[in-house]
Amino acid sequence: MSENFRIEKGGLINRNKKISFKFNGKKYFGFEGDTLASALIANGVHLVGRSFKYHRPRGFFGAGVDEPYAIVQMNRNNEVDPNVRATEQELFEGLEAKSVNCWPNVDFDIGAINNFLGKFFPAGFYYKTFMWPRSFWYKVYEPIIRKAAGFGAASIKHDKERYEHKYEYCDLLITGSGPSGLASAYAAAQNGAKVILAEDKSRFGGSLLTSEVTIGNQSGQEWAEKIISELKSMPNVIVKNRSQVFGYYDHNMLVMSERVSDHLPKTEKYIPKQRLWYIRAKEVIISSGSIERPLVFGNNDTPGVMLSSAAKEYLKIYGVLVGKKPLVFTNNDSGYETAIEFKKNGVDPIVLDTRKDPNSEIIKEAKQLNINIKSSYVVVTAKGYKKVKSADIAKISDDKKNLSNIENIQCDCICVSGFWTPTIHLASQSGNKTKFNDEIDAFIPSQSKQKETTLGSANGIFTLEETLKTSFEKGSELSKQITNKENNVSIPTVVEKKSSNHDKFWCVPLPEGKNYKRFLDFQNDVAVSDIQLALREGYRSIEHVKRYTTLGMATDQGRTSNLNGLQLVSDIENKVVPQVGHTTFRPPYSPVSIGAIVGREIGKHSKPTRKSPMHYWHEKNNAVFVDAGVWLRPRYYKQGNENLFEASKREAKNVRQNVGVCDVTTLGKIDIKGPDSAEFLNRVYTNAWLKLPVGKARYGVMLREDGIVMDDGTTTRISENHYHMTTTTAQAANVLSHLEYYLQLVWPELNVNVVSSTEQWAGAAIAGPKSREVLQKLFPDLNVSNEGLPFMGYMEGNLFGVNAKIYRISFSGELAYEVNVESDNGNYMWEKIMEIGKEFNIQPYGTEALSTLRIEMGHVAGSELDGRTIPYDNSLDGLVSKKKDFIGKRSLSKTAYIAPDRQKVVGVVPLDKKTSIPEGSYIVKDAKAKLPNPKLGHVSASCWSVEYDNPFSLAIIKDGKNMIGQKLFAMSPLKNKTIPVEIVSSHYVDPKGERVRS
């Protein structure tokens, strides 16, 4: 298809580079520098989608971020990208996009029946209709609404694109590169400030690219180019295009999304799709400009009705005519600028001005060009369904209440200008108390809460001369306060055409007997009648009106609709706009992809992976790993075709029969030093610590102040004032913070220091009846006999040339030792243990075997110490000192904690000795009881006892101590299992603990 709407010369596109692309499956051509929107319009395509609620045909309304309609779904690298504005998507070779909100296709949309059923879809329709019958909502209504509505479908595939995060600090962050942004950035940069200048579009310059002005002796566009190239060459300035500052958060933290490669045909390897910048700025200059306001008239959402500034932009930047028979409908001078551009390109526009007798330099120029101008004229309604074909126009009375001389005129587009709305979203997000400016009928920033300043048209200043002057001054002033340097820049002279006052008129009355839909919010299909209805139904607060009618919601965030909506509410309520107030602006200003927010923190990258020094040995020896907190630990070592169950059983059995070795590097370790260490431990742990001799370890339990067990582990007295504490892998960081809290805040008088030494030590647990023989061979010079190194003893030794610490502690319930060496020697130690242990049939064992060993011994661990149990629940009564005070002790006397039927850990064995009990199963008395079946407790951990060769579980159940011997049921609704069980002692194997002491 050829381009019928491209003018021969002009625009900023590269006409030497033709680009092919597909829209809704059809192939078109455009040029490098086009957006998808400009290329489609060049090809005469104006129908790009269907509206949200009524499925009315949708075209283009704006030319950038202001676009409420033209949202498309992109297909890029076989990835779906929903919710993309065609006006922002730059064209690249092979681009593929399609319409959203239409089914089966954009030309024939079944949902459009909503349009003709319009009277059934008033404000609050969803709330009213679909609430009854209630059960229908989830099954019937919602799925249908979801299918018919929404702005495209998210991909259900894993997003293969790469997104990045970046943190940056600067003196001044400047959002927008129009005249105010350029001038303030330039002045600040000259004073040596570190400046970030962010432009949302691909081209810098903002309004300077489309306005007819002279700065110094250059055109606006040339001046912008010069300033930008100078800024780019300065080392203290970061200049970013395609970068939208979308959120203003606390303490001058702003977030910006940079579209790094969205405009490229294919992501090269290692080029991210988008980059999210977290910027902490000392000062923020908001130079986000303004957006043209629509005028409201009948069927003003018909494709071909668009902002006059957009029509001008398509012409001046892309060389594209939005129509060949344009009608310009304006209440101010901006419409004339667009009309003049049409005329200069050989197209005859008709201008309808709502004002009676407008007069200004621009209007004079239009008249000299013989442009047909009709004063006191309005568009009553657009005609045409999928594209504007004509318009009913009329003369309007001086009081703007009555229409006369209604006639129909041919046109193919209607360019509207209802004056300008400053873009105050960022200022409002920052907490700025905005105020209403009567002169421009719009809100502007007022009192700052954070360090921000709004300049230029975003601040309601619409002349270039004043914008440049104030922006140069402000940029210089703010930067000087930071850098203490001042390099004055001279403010250039400006030639621009003076404008006359705009007309406050914005909404064309309905002619008698007509009921045209007049839209306020184009994205959400909110018409004048919807707001009227909401107010009739009693909604008053603008926040409520917004939610009831959806005015100003979704991705559009009220950019084009806000003020007209407020005007209407004020008119009906007989209030002035400032009394009505505006709704809260919330980030993001424009949509941000979830991928960009997540960044690189996906899958395995969501937290750092920690590996022990022996990791590569485990890998080489067929370890299958499991995540244990941030650590990777061997779960089991696979031999041949073994599965998890077979391997862990073999490994556990070998510990019970011979000897096994387990990597325990991941245990938390805390080094404790200082003369008051013993006293401190005595307060932290529930048991007594003052009399622990040097060279001895002790098991301890620590509580939170509410009496709940926080963690357990052993602590060894290395020397008089030096202790080595171990914590569980999961709680290591919390325990350290906990200790620091008490030392720094509660008992600062204690002379104790704590530091994490988790990563300084590599640990190996050697466990099993033959472990002493292995240890003796590893340390031939030491006396490791039961007398030389008794249970809970500690020794230092030399392991084939490296220093080692030996703790006789056991988690498996077998005779066991933990050997620690400095991390760098970890692998060396491990290989020595394997080498020496060979003759004793040593085998490495993983976390699964480790669990089996501890469960059948009845040793409580994380699944019992789950943040809901107290020491008594875990049969740790013997460790709770009656004599001394400690953290959490006072809570242990709570009535519920000392109740006679308090929950307790017990053992559970299935009666058939075959069926494994799923973890999390409920224990109940009667499997057939009426639901909800009262539960006695839950199964916390399950294993296959290698000692007895049958399943065994631990459970925490009510009145546990009196339940031993009872026949109950374990029920797992998740697995649909009911298993008859017997309650036994939690110490299933070696209940007297003889093995560890042997």
Cα separation, 486 vs 473, in Å, equals 11
| Binding region for another protein (CB under 8 A) out of 181-189, 245-253, 597-605, 925-933 | 245-253
Minimum gap (Å) between residue 174 Cβ and another protein: 20
Cα separation, 909 vs 917, in Å, equals 9
Q: Which is nearer to another protein, 278 or 505 (CB)?
A: 278
Q: Which is nearer to another protein, 132 or 169 (CB)?
A: 169
When asked if residue 745 is in the footprint of another protein (CB under 8 A), the reply is: yes
| Binding region for another protein (CB under 8 A) out of 467-475, 562-570, 626-634, 739-747 | 739-747
Using CB under 8 A, which of 18, 433, 890, 975 touches another protein? 890
| Binding region for another protein (CB under 8 A) out of 156-164, 461-469, 654-662, 740-748 | 740-748
Q: What's the chain's length in residues?
A: 998
- Which residue type does 803 have? N
Contacts (CB under 8 A) with another protein, residues 824-853: none
Minimum gap (Å) between residue 703 Cβ and another protein: 11
| Binding region for another protein (CB under 8 A) out of 138-146, 235-243, 643-651, 743-751 | 743-751
- Which run of H or of E encompasses 437? strand 433-437
When asked if residue 753 is in the footprint of another protein (CB under 8 A), the reply is: no
| Binding region for another protein (CB under 8 A) out of 125-133, 400-408, 884-892, 984-992 | 884-892
Cα separation, 661 vs 14, in Å, equals 70
Residue 804's alpha-carbon distances to 381, 653, 727, 939, 965, in angstroms, are 89, 28, 20, 39, 46
Beta strands in 501-561 (DSSP E): 519-521, 526-527
Q: Which is nearer to another protein, 180 or 428 (CB)?
A: 428
DSSP 787: T
Q: Which is nearer to another protein, 213 or 708 (CB)?
A: 708
Q: Which is nearer to another protein, 683 or 904 (CB)?
A: 683
| CB contact at 8 A, 818 and 811 | no
Cα separation, 116 vs 927, in Å, equals 59
Minimum gap (Å) between residue 481 Cβ and another protein: 17
Minimum gap (Å) between residue 431 Cβ and another protein: 7
The torsion region of residue 769 among left (phi > 0), alpha (psi -120 to 50) and beta comes to alpha
DSSP 399-420: TS--EEEEEEEE-SEEEEE--E
When asked if residue 683 is in the footprint of another protein (CB under 8 A), the reply is: yes
Q: What totals of helices (H) and strands (E) does the chain contain, helices first?
A: 24, 50
Q: Which is nearer to another protein, 690 or 745 (CB)?
A: 745
When asked if residue 280 is in the footprint of another protein (CB under 8 A), the reply is: yes
Pairing assessment for the beta strands 722-727 and 668-673 based on DSSP bridges: antiparallel
User: Three-state SS for 714?
Assistant: strand
Minimum gap (Å) between residue 736 Cβ and another protein: 8
| Binding region for another protein (CB under 8 A) out of 410-418, 688-696, 742-750, 952-960 | 742-750
Minimum gap (Å) between residue 691 Cβ and another protein: 18
Q: Which is nearer to another protein, 367 or 600 (CB)?
A: 600
Using CB under 8 A, which of 601, 885, 901, 994 touches another protein? 885
Residue among 883, 820, 528 nearest 687 (CA): 883
| Binding region for another protein (CB under 8 A) out of 466-474, 488-496, 547-555, 737-745 | 737-745
| Binding region for another protein (CB under 8 A) out of 188-196, 645-653, 835-843, 882-890 | 882-890
When asked if residue 800 is in the footprint of another protein (CB under 8 A), the reply is: no
When asked if residue 344 is in the footprint of another protein (CB under 8 A), the reply is: no
Q: Which is nearer to another protein, 705 or 901 (CB)?
A: 705
Peptide bond into 932 cis (omega under 30): yes
When asked if residue 741 is in the footprint of another protein (CB under 8 A), the reply is: yes
When asked if residue 278 is in the footprint of another protein (CB under 8 A), the reply is: yes
Minimum gap (Å) between residue 168 Cβ and another protein: 12
Minimum gap (Å) between residue 758 Cβ and another protein: 14
Cα separation, 715 vs 733, in Å, equals 16
Q: Which is nearer to another protein, 157 or 883 (CB)?
A: 883
Peptide bond into 910 cis (omega under 30): no
Contacts (CB under 8 A) with another protein, residues 155-194: 167
Residue 451's alpha-carbon distances to 2, 283, 586, 833, in angstroms, are 52, 5, 18, 63
- Between the two ends of the chain, the Cα-to-Cα distance in Å is 91
Using CB under 8 A, which of 144, 495, 746, 929 touches another protein? 746
Using CB under 8 A, which of 94, 431, 675, 867 touches another protein? 431
Q: Which is nearer to another protein, 839 or 885 (CB)?
A: 885
User: Mask of contacts with another protein, 246-265, x by CB under 8 A?
Assistant: ---xxxxx------------
Minimum gap (Å) between residue 586 Cβ and another protein: 16
| CB contact at 8 A, 277 and 269 | no
Q: What is the total count of residues that contact another protein (CB under 8 A)?
A: 24
Using CB under 8 A, which of 627, 740, 835, 926 touches another protein? 740
| CB contact at 8 A, 360 and 530 | no
Query: Which tokens go with 605?
Result: 């990258």
Cα separation, 381 vs 394, in Å, equals 10
Contacts (CB under 8 A) with another protein, residues 444-503: 449
DSSP 3-15: -SSB-SS-SSSEE
Cα separation, 538 vs 528, in Å, equals 16
Minimum gap (Å) between residue 748 Cβ and another protein: 6
Cα separation, 448 vs 284, in Å, equals 11
Cα separation, 510 vs 804, in Å, equals 92
User: Three-state SS for 620?
Assistant: helix
Residue among 750, 723, 745, 726 nearest 736 (CA): 726
Using CB under 8 A, which of 608, 748, 900, 932 touches another protein? 748
Minimum gap (Å) between residue 886 Cβ and another protein: 8
When asked if residue 867 is in the footprint of another protein (CB under 8 A), the reply is: no
Minimum gap (Å) between residue 171 Cβ and another protein: 14
Residue among 184, 197, 202 nearest 317 (CA): 202
Cβ neighbours around 395 below 10 Å, total: 16
| Binding region for another protein (CB under 8 A) out of 470-478, 647-655, 744-752, 980-988 | 744-752
Cα separation, 524 vs 548, in Å, equals 12
User: Three-state SS for 596?
Assistant: helix
Minimum gap (Å) between residue 451 Cβ and another protein: 11
| Binding region for another protein (CB under 8 A) out of 76-84, 557-565, 745-753, 922-930 | 745-753
When asked if residue 944 is in the footprint of another protein (CB under 8 A), the reply is: no
| CB contact at 8 A, 205 and 224 | yes
Peptide bond into 104 cis (omega under 30): yes
Q: Which is nearer to another protein, 705 or 926 (CB)?
A: 705
Contacts (CB under 8 A) with another protein, residues 688-717: 705-706
DSSP 166-197: EEEEEEEEEE--SHHHHHHHHHHHHTT--EEE
Q: Which is nearer to another protein, 168 or 571 (CB)?
A: 168
Minimum gap (Å) between residue 745 Cβ and another protein: 5
Minimum gap (Å) between residue 746 Cβ and another protein: 5
Maximum separation of any 2 CA atoms in the chain, in Å:
115
Positions in the binding site for another protein (CB under 8 A): 167, 249-253, 278, 280, 431, 449, 683, 705-706, 737, 740-741, 744-746, 748, 884-885, 890-891
